Amino acid sequence: MTGFYEQLHDRSRKRFALLVDPDKYDDRALEVLIRHINQDQPDLLLVGGSILFNPIEITITALKLGTRLPVFIFPGNAIQLSDRADGILFLSLISGRNPEFLIGNHVLAAPHLNRSGIEVIPTGYMLIENGRSTSVEYMSHTSPIPAGKTEIAVATAMAGEMLGLKAIYLEAGSGAAHPVGLEMIGAIRKNISLPLIVGGGVNSAETAEELYNAGADMVVVGTIFEKEPGRVRDFCALRDKLNRK
C-alpha cells in the first residue's frame, strides 16, 4: 500500500480534505487560498465538480506548484482527468442505479489512468438526501438515499466493502442544507471497516467535530472557503486537536 491511501487507511488519525471547485476561484482567490493551505496544512486537496467550465488541469497545476500536499481529482465525470494530479478518488455512485456512474465513466477513464500511473482509490460514493436537490443528483440521474433510511445506507456501504472498494464517501452534496446525519454515519461506521469520508454542507468546525465523533475518518469541506478562505485554520486546528487525544 503506498500513496495517500496508506494515510487514509490508518484510521487511528483523523484527516481533513479541502475541495477546490475550479470554477469558483480566479487566479487571485486561488493564490489567497494557497496561502491558507500552506499555513494550516489540510491532509488532502480535492479538485473537481459536477460540471466545470474551467479546465481542471489549470487548478491542479496551480495547487501542485503552490503547495506540497497531495492533489487528487474528485471527478464529476470522465472528462475530468489530468496527469498532473497525484491521484483520483475513482468514484462509483453506489447509492444510484445509473450504470454510467457505476462503471461506464470508469471504462472511459481507465486507459488514461493506466497510462498516467496516478494513484487510484476505488471509492463507493453514496449520495444522501439533505432536504434540497443537488447537482450530483441531477447530473447523475440518480436518487439519493433518504436521510431517514439508515438501514439502506448501511446495506449499501456493506455491499461496497464486499465488492472490494477501498473507501466509502457519504455525500450530502456541495452546499447542502444539512450534512449527513450522525446516526447514519455511526451505523455505517459500526458495520464496515473501510475508511469513511463525509462531506457536503459542513459549515463549521463544531459540525465537523460531530461528524468525526460519529465515525468519519476524513471530512471534506469546500463551499465555505470560497468566501472565507481564512477558515481553513478552524478545520485544521480541529483535526490536530482530535489527533492529539
What residue ranges bind ligand 1GP (CB under 6 A)?
19, 171, 174-176, 199-202, 220-223
Q: For ligand 1GP, give the closer residue by CB, 151 or 206.
A: 206
Look up cell 457505476; give the residue.
102
Compare residues 73 and 220 and give the one whose CB is closer to ligand 1GP. 220
When the beta carbons of 107 and 177 are compared against ligand 1GP, the nearer one is 177
Q: Are 218 and 17 in contact (CB under 8 A)?
A: yes
Closest CA to 102 of 80, 124, 121, 120: 124
For the CA atoms of 158, 163, 168, 173, the dihedral, rounded to the nearest 10 degrees, stands at -100
Output the residue with the shortest Cβ distance to ligand 1GP: 199
C-alpha cell at 204: 463549521
Q: How far is the CB of 219 from ligand 1GP (least distance, A)?
A: 9
Q: How far is the CB of 220 from ligand 1GP (least distance, A)?
A: 4
Q: Shortest gap between Cβ of 117 and ligand 1GP (angstroms)?
A: 26
87 versus 222: smaller Cβ distance to ligand 1GP: 222
**Which residues lie across from 83 on neighbouring strands?**
none
| Nearest Cα residue to 48 out of 28, 63, 33 | 63
